[in-house]
Amino acid sequence: MIVVIKSSATPQQTQMVVDKIVAMGYGVNVSQGSERLIIGVLGVRENKDMLAAQLGGFDFVERVVPVSKSYKLVSREGTHADTVVRLSNGVEIGGNAIHVMAGPCTVEGSEMIMETARWVKSCGATLLRGGAYKPSTSPYSFQGMGEEGLEILAQARNATGLPIITEIMDPRDVELVTQYADILQIGARNMQNFTLLKEMAKTRKPVMLKRGLSATVEEWLLAAEYIYAGGNHDVILCERGIRTFETATRNTLDLNAVPLLKTLTHLPVVVDPSHGTGKWELVTPMARAAVAAGADALMIEVHPKPADALKDGFESLNFQNFATLMKQVRAVALAVGRPIASDVTTALGA
Ligand code: PEP
Ligand code: MN
């Protein structure tokens, strides 16, 4: 059961609700987001209906909703309206318009980022992606440029107006990365890094949570619940493929998850067909399919010279191929009644 408190309620009134829940033998989780305060009632007792009736009687309680799912606050049962994550420059993820986040796997230098940012923006991307801290399977692979990479991304944002999304891997980097990023990305390998998730709950930056390599949808939603229940309500999910017996592709992009998530949760859903397939030739067809399936945004790896990329060149699109992707995705988006955000957004800067 969750209890949504009216924004006009005083801290004393909120405390009255908490005290009542505890007095009737339940655990309690108070999630104070930037817009709403939601109280989760934890545990199973026979007096739940009575508690619900009593709490519903307070005039500072907006509503009391029974939730059967283990993930309470991110469940559709608790909140029917879609969550729309709003960035300061007017970008809204989870609304009707479809956003495209594009850029290289990793920040390799200033020139390539600037060139890529300008190109993807001219094609209709509305966010710039690029990793400064890279989770590498091999300790001998490139680990990212660190703070210098964040600086370069910020310069590209200044030059183009594109907000930036970049991965954070370590709770010790939260202060630094939040200074630069518009959206914090939690990578697949860290989906169940609970220490990191709890840190994400404390920031006021939106977080995009990628699906773990072999995570079920329920495990993924519970990971999202850590961030939401801890007080950060700007959570975005990203399907990026899962491990299956199939080795012909890098991962198996689970597009079932997109319409399934739309029934289970109110959070926005992004699809990353670059990591989802591992092959650039498959990226555009699967991007089209993702939009047809209901994705709110796409994350696409783009590199000026994929053959020379330090990471993930084999799944990166060159500039021409990205332009083609945008053209085709736009047509599919319109067919399902959704515009590409850059066609309707005037809020973006230069
Ligand atoms: C990435 O986006 O570059 C990345 C490392 O993705 P994932 O965590 O999905 O592997
Ligand atoms: Mn990558």
pLDDT digits (tens, 9 = 90+) for 279-303: 999 999 999 999 999 999 999 999 9
Whether 349 has a pLDDT exceeding 70, the answer reads no
Rounded to two decimals, what is the model's pTM?
A: 0.96
Among the bound ligands, the one closest to the CA of 283: 2
pLDDT digits (tens, 9 = 90+) for 232-257: 999 999 999 999 999 999 999 999 99
Radius of gyration, CA atoms only, the chain: 21
**83 CA to centre of ligand 2 in angstroms:** 27
pLDDT digits (tens, 9 = 90+) for 306-319: 999 999 999 999 99
**3-state DSSP assignment of residue 210:** strand
Which amino acid is located at 70 in the chain? S
- Residue spans of alpha helices (H) in the chain: 11-23, 48-56, 110-123, 147-160, 174-180, 194-202, 217-229, 257-264, 273-277, 280-293, 319-335, 341-344
Distance CA(225)–CA(171), nearest Å, equals 18
**239 CA to centre of ligand 2 in angstroms:** 14
Does residue 188 have its Cβ closer than 6 Å to ligand 1? yes
Closest atom of ligand 1 relative to the 272 alpha carbon: 9
Distance CA(167)–CA(207), nearest Å, equals 10
**94 CA to centre of ligand 1 in angstroms:** 21
Closest atom of ligand 1 relative to the 312 alpha carbon: 3
Residue to substitute in 185, 207, 254, 300 for testing ligand 1 pocket (most ligand atoms within 8 angstroms of CB):
185
Whether 92 has a pLDDT exceeding 50, the answer reads yes
